[in-house]
Amino acid sequence: MPWSRLPAVLLSGAALMGAIWIAGHVFLADVINQEARYYIDRWRSGALKLSHSRLDEIQSDLTRSIAYDPSNPNYQEDLARFLTWRNEKATLLDLAARRDRMQARILFSEAAVRRPTSERAWASVAATRFILGEVDTHFAAALSLALRQGPWNPEIQMNAIRVGLASWSILTEDLQKELRKAIHNQAHWNLAPQRDALATMIKSYRRNELLCLLDEGPGGCQAS
């Protein structure tokens, strides 16, 4: 082989080794993540009880998945959801739980930025910020994006509406208009009408002035 070709050969070899290294890490991240999610699903369904130390191990596995493949927003969301679920019964005075929730908020936000059309990610950002008391412009933007990006997704819409009702009195007028529209649309959407569930939700947050949205359009139902 001519010496003049040696640099090109070395570069090609380095590129191939790099590609193999990356592929190996992506594969390993997926294997670790899938195993962790298997146990999380069984834990969430009540089919399996996990000790505190086992939950720590699962959290570590989810963290390793991100380290092996940091470009995959699914892994960020999986860890964020796990942190949220693990602390869902913790009080606001629990400092360890607050740290976990703040980490979850960061992870949800990073995942949403990586995948800006994901209504689930934006809804999670809004919900986590609300739990942390961070009801600011970032919260409002996340809630608005959740409503706009997934009008066809009743699960996300209902979760976003719930967060909106809980924070109604401090929302901007424009965001209140978006929520009124979302409530009306979900109540009348042919594929999965949510009228009864919405009525119960609205009453639970003592926003009875919004009940008219279940029958009238947002334009004909001017809630205060």
Which H/E stretch holds residue 35? helix 6-45
Count structural domains, the chain: 1
Domain membership flag for residue 157: yes
Structural domain includes residue 216: yes
User: pLDDT by residue (tens digit) across 80-104?
Assistant: 999 999 999 998 889 999 999 999 9
Q: State pLDDT tens for residues 120-167.
A: 999 999 999 999 999 999 999 999 999 999 888 999 999 999 999 999
Question: Does residue 78 form part of some domain?
Answer: no
Helix (H, G, I), strand (E, B) or coil at 97: helix
Q: Is the pLDDT of residue 200 over 60?
A: yes
- Whether 24 has a pLDDT exceeding 60, the answer reads no
Whether 17 maps to a domain, the answer reads: no
Structural domain includes residue 82: no
Is the pLDDT confidence value at 76 over 70? Answer: yes
User: How would residue 14 be classed by pLDDT, with cut points 50, 70 and 90?
Assistant: very low
Checking if the pLDDT of 218 tops 50, the result is: yes
| Host domain of residue 185 | 116-224
Q: What is the pLDDT of residue 27?
A: 73
Distance, in Å, from the CA atom of 58 to the CA atom of 39, rounded to the nearest integer, reads 8
Single pTM value for the model: 0.81
Q: Is residue 53 part of a domain?
A: no
Residue 72 lies in a domain: no
Residue 209 falls inside a structural domain? yes
